[in-house]
Each structure stands twice: as C-alpha cells, then as structure tokens.
Amino acid sequence: MAMRHTHTIDGRPVDGVGLFDVINPATASAFAQAPDASHAQLDLAVEAARRAFQRWRAVPTASRREILSGFAAAIRAETQILAPLLTREQGKPLAAAVREIESTAARIEGLLAFELTPETLRADERGRVVLDYQPMGVVGAIAPWNSPVLLATQIAAQALVTGNSVILKPSPFTPLATLQLGEIAARTLPPGLFNTLSGGNDLGRWMTEHPGIDKIGFVGSVATGKRVLASAAASNLKRVSLELGGNDAAIVLADAEVETIAPKIFSAAFANSGQRCMAIKRVLVHESLLDRLGAALAELAKQAKVGDGFEPGVELGPVQNRPQFERVLGLIDDALSRGGRALAGGAALNRPGYFIAPTIITGVAEGTPLVDEEQFGPVLPLMTFSEIDEAVTRANATRFGLGASVWSGHPERAVQIVQRLEAGTVWINSHGGSLPEIPFGGCKESGIGRGMGLMGLKSYVEPRVSYLP
C-alpha cells in the first residue's frame, strides 16, 4: 500500500482538500501524491501556532533545549525512513540523502548551544538599561527543493530555539520528507508548535499575506524572494529573512596546484548536481592554467557516475524537476551557440529522467547567460584572466553576492584578494559548506540577513530595551 501523506496541524494529521502528484526526477514519472492545503487549513494552522507560541515562549530555556534535543534525536532515529523518501522526490544519491537527514538533526543540536542572554547597556546612579530579546510569534518557513529537509529545518530550528512557533511549507516538488517531519514533530513537540502544510504557489502567497504570521523565513530564488518581500511588507510589515541564489566565482591564481585543486573545485561545483546556492558557478582561471585545469575538470566530469540515487556508486543524480532541466539545457545550448566549447558533457543523457551529463564549457565570457545568471545545474563555465585586478573586478561584477573563493599555492597571498571580494562568505582553497555555529547569507541580491549562529538567532527575535530603576 502506498504511504499516505498528510498535513500536520495542531499535532494531528489532516488530509488535504485535494492531492497533487510528486515526480521522481530519476524517472520523470509520479510515484506518490501530496495533500494540497486550503486557505481555511492555513487559518487553522495559524490559530494553532498562535496558541502554541503563547505557551512555548514561557518554557524555560533548559526545558526548551531538552524538548528540541528530543526532536533532533527522533529525526536521526528515522533516517532510514526519511532518506529513501528524500532520494525518490529530490533525486540525490541515497548516501547524500542520509547525510542531509543526519545534518538536519545536527543543525538543531548545534543551534541549541546558543543562548540570547540580556545585556546591560548602562548601570549607574540613573539606573540600569537592559537589552533583551523577545520571540516574534508565528514564523512561516518556506523551503526550497534542493536540500528540502535541511533548509526547512534550519529555518524552523532558529524559530523554535528562540521561542517562536512554526508553519512550514515545503516546495511542491519535494514535499514528502518534510511532511514526515511534521509527523515526527507531532510525537515529540507540543501540539501546534510545528505545523506542516504542502501546496503550490497560492499557499506561499497566502502565508506571506497572512496577518497572523509575524515573520517569514525563505530560502529560494531571487525572483521569488523579491515577491515574498513585497507581499510581506504589504500585509503587516512582517519581518523577513531571505537566503537567495548565488553566482559564486572561484578565482584560480597562476601559482595554484592544478592536480590538488581540480577535485575540490569539481566537488564544490557539481555536488547535488550543481543544485546548491553556494556551489561554484563560474571559474576565473589564470590564462597560463586554462588548458591544464580544463582537462582535469573535464576528466573528472567524464568519470563521475550519474544515475538514479539508488544505483550503487552513483555520485550525481538528476536535475530535480522538468522546468529546471529545460532551463539548464537551454543555458548550455545558448553558450555553445555563442562559440563556447564543451570539454565534457553538453547534453542530456539518453535515458528516462532529468539527467544532464556533467558539463565543462570554455570559450564563453560575461554577457553570456550561463556566466551572468545562476545556472543551478551540472554545468561549469571556465574563463581566463591575465591580471588579478581584472579577476576581482569581474568576480564582483554581478548582482549576486553569496560566496566566492580564491585558489592559490600561497594562501597568504590569497588573503589580500579575499578581502576585496563582495560576498557574504569567502574561502581560500575550498568552497562551500555551512555549520550551525557560523552565520551564512549573502549581500546584494543574494539575500537579506544571516542564518545560523548567534546572528541568525537574533533575526528571529525582537530586541527590547528596558529602562529600570
């Protein structure tokens, strides 16, 4: 019998008003159905979350930590249920899905290590001035399809740790594992504290417009993030945190050791089939190294095993959905039509599903959509530079500002270049990765605010100043 998937509202399973298909990207066919939420069901979830918030905000910090630790442990205990479901709906290899579930539990636990303690700003004969932090209320979490469980829980965990309640909407492309989180929450958290609703764009709009929701945490594209911000401002001036896309540049200096860095650059560009906001999206390599680096990356691309996430030894899965599959192929075709040359890949694989061969392209430049936009797929353009100032200027010449990296045989030299890059996170001789204790986010159009760490938690509370005798 097929698994029945439901919303979770006020700690109880709730059927949708309708159902929609969930597609396995490795086969391009439906394998399950998810419940579709109505506006009335969102209203019920908001009411439940409001009640739960009033109780949760009064729970002592130590007790809150104990409860949320139990939630993290319950997620980890169901890894063997959640991970295969994640592979079927998202496409990533099973081993990567297992890591995502384990990282989800670890992210909750890592955030529990922080405490927002009151700060005394002044203490003298006039009295004391104290700054403390109050939870906002009901947080609407809207998650993407690339790492759906981890990124959904990242928003929710920050809200819960700081005393808020949550209504979580997964992407309609990848709703199932997130709905399972709602079932786990129903067993381990107070009713109404963690609600899950699945649906399409209408549900997301209803959430951003709803006057009973106090904050939106969103991870996704720049275009959708702008709509979220506008909608949230128009309703009740909701607080908003946005983690949006990137067009991360990797600058490879002439003294870099190609044999050492090529596997690292390939992994940072192609992990999750390139479907990561912090993936390397373009490489600026010194002209003296183009041939060697291009050949090394092309060989890695040809050797990478692409296939269904359940196949043994698979390293890269499919692109997650048909619209993105067609968009990435369009960017590749456009780049080749403009004189680009594919050192590896360059086309879809001849098999069912949304598979694209890992692609390395040279002979392109700024002004090509593959270079200027976020491709979010398994394709990487290589471009040359001759002077470092030129490379820095070109790396910064983008509306994005999420991440960037510099690759050099002399890291101390790279430090000076890193300090000139306009990005929320910069690396030397590595690229990507995030930890619960380290803030992450972007500048320019790559987002508003930071997630994780003490800085991330502070974005889910309101500062309050008290003048005391």
- Contact partners, residue 188, CB within 8 Å, separation at least 6: 67, 70, 71, 74
- Full DSSP string of 298-364: HHHHHHS-BS-TTSTT--B---SSHHHHHHHHHHHHHHHHTT-EEEE--SB-SSSSS-B--EEEES-
- Give the active site residue among 78, 89, 100, 243: 243
DSSP 440: B
- Give the active site residue among 78, 100, 277, 374: 277
Sheet-wide strand order for 127-135 = 119-124, 127-135, 461-468
- C-alpha angle with apex 377: 307 to 317, nearest 5 degrees? 15
The CA radius of gyration of the chain, in Å to the nearest whole number, is 23
Query: Hey, what are 403's tokens?
Result: 């991440």
Residue 124 buriedness (CB in 10 A; 0-12 / 13-18 / 19+): exposed
CA distance 166 to 190: 12
277 is a catalytic site residue = yes
443 is a catalytic site residue = no
Q: Find residue 361's DSSP bridge partners.
A: 342, 381
Query: Hey, what are 91's tokens?
Result: 């496409």
The helix (run of H) or strand (run of E) holding residue 108 is helix 94-111
Cα within 13 Å of Cα(326), Cβ side: 3
Query: Hey, what are 410's tokens?
Result: 């002399």
Q: Is 68 helix (H, G, I), strand (E, B) or coil?
A: helix
Give the residue from 428, 322, 442, 326 showing the smallest Cα distance to 375: 326
CA distance 45 to 39: 10
CA distance 383 to 265: 14
Residue type (1 letter), 65: R
The helix (run of H) or strand (run of E) holding residue 96 is helix 94-111
Phi, psi of 426 (to 5 degrees): -130, 150
Count of all residues that appear for the chain in the document: 469
CA distance 276 to 268: 9
- Cα–Cα distances in Å, from 296 out to 83, 166, 261, 273, 409? 32, 46, 10, 18, 17
| Catalytic residue IDs | 243, 277
